[in-house]
Amino acid sequence: MTDRREIERIVGAALDEDAPWGDLTSETLIPAAATATAELVAREPGVLSGIEVFAAAFRLVEARTVLDRLAADGEHFTAGQTLARVTGPARGILTAERVALNLVQRMSGVATLTARYVAAVAGTRARIVDTRKTTPGLRSLERQAVRDGGGRNHRRSLSDAIMAKDNHLAVLTAGGQDLATALRAARERMPHTAHLEVEVDRLDQLDAVLAGGADTIMLDNFDLAALREGVARIGGRAVVEASGGVSLDTVGDIAATGVDVISVGALTHSARALDLGLDVVIETSDAREGR
């Protein structure tokens, strides 16, 4: 689960963006003493992610709100199912509503799409992982959503691992450096706890990358036959990752080639926000009478 401080930082920034000087509508129309109960209801089936983020939006606006969690992150739900119930001062609920929904809809969309990819590779050795193709500012939440959908996380940031991609290799080779020698030199400089991954787009790069001591080799945009050959040539000497051209239609066949990891940018950059709604179900007498 994402750290509470990180959740509050992200949610706080979203609330500041949405109501920088307060909620003019609620403060003008809704009596200060009014209370309400609202339910988070699924308009379509999916996988829940972000219930703590949803709760934080209401808590940060109004500490007196109470959230009743009726479903847990990672739980599959059906259309019409009530996922949570929030009770408290009506102004606070109305002020936090949009930010709370935006985030839980986004996260649940990522989790739901991830779960479909995970189901598509069931029975194979392949793990579905995300990429850094995340929404700026929301990486922590989207990575959690991938986990809630049954997927795994790739490196969090550029600071977490050495990952030599095609442009890195182009710069190295343009300078006349031998790839295997450059990779071995990098291993000498990197911390002993770090991981070295190298992306290749041709089979004839494999010998140099293996000689350089790569921990993971990414086979980028390989067809199925080339993936099978790559797995055989690597022969367990490195983790084999497939990337590029991955969709729900192709991921099962890619997994069947024997790769260890399939990285899918679409999990975060193409996930559709799930249709969830917040419906006020109870309005107290204080609100009705304007007290």
CA 253 to chain centre: 24
Which of 39, 73, 130, 199 is flagged as catalytic? 199
What percentage of the chain has pLDDT greater than the value 90? 86
In this predicted structure, what is the pLDDT of residue 176? 78
165 is catalytic: yes
- Pinpoint the residues of the chain covered by CATH 3.90.1170.20: 4-117+272-289
In this predicted structure, what is the pLDDT of residue 169? 85
Collapsed DSSP state (helix, strand, coil) of residue 86 = strand
Q: Which pTM does this prediction carry?
A: 0.93
In angstroms, rounded to a whole number, what is the distance separating the alpha carbons of residues 38 and 241?
45
16 is catalytic: no
Which of 69, 85, 116, 133 is flagged as catalytic? 133
Fold adopted by 121-269? TIM Barrel (3.20.20)
Band of the pLDDT at 103, cuts 50, 70, 90?
Answer: very high
**Rounded CA Rg of the chain:** 24
pLDDT tens digit sequence for 162-201: 999 989 888 887 877 788 988 998 899 999 889 999 999 9
Which of 8, 75, 178, 220 is flagged as catalytic? 220
Sign, Cα dihedral of 262, 264, 267, 268: positive
Band of the pLDDT at 282, cuts 50, 70, 90?
Answer: low
Flag whether pLDDT at 86 surpasses 70.
yes
- Pinpoint the residues of the chain covered by CATH 3.20.20.70: 121-269
43 is catalytic: no
What percentage of the chain has pLDDT greater than the value 70? 97
The angle subtended at Cα 274 by Cα 61 and Cα 83, nearest 5°, is 60
Give CA separation, 15 vs 11, 19, 51, 74, 92, in Å.
6, 6, 17, 25, 12
DSSP calls for 9-37: HHHHHHHHHH-BTB-HHHHHHS-TT-EEE
98 is catalytic: yes
Collapsed DSSP state (helix, strand, coil) of residue 162 = strand
Q: Domain 4-117+272-289 is in which class?
A: alpha beta
Which of 165, 187, 228, 233 is flagged as catalytic? 165
* Residues across the chain: 291
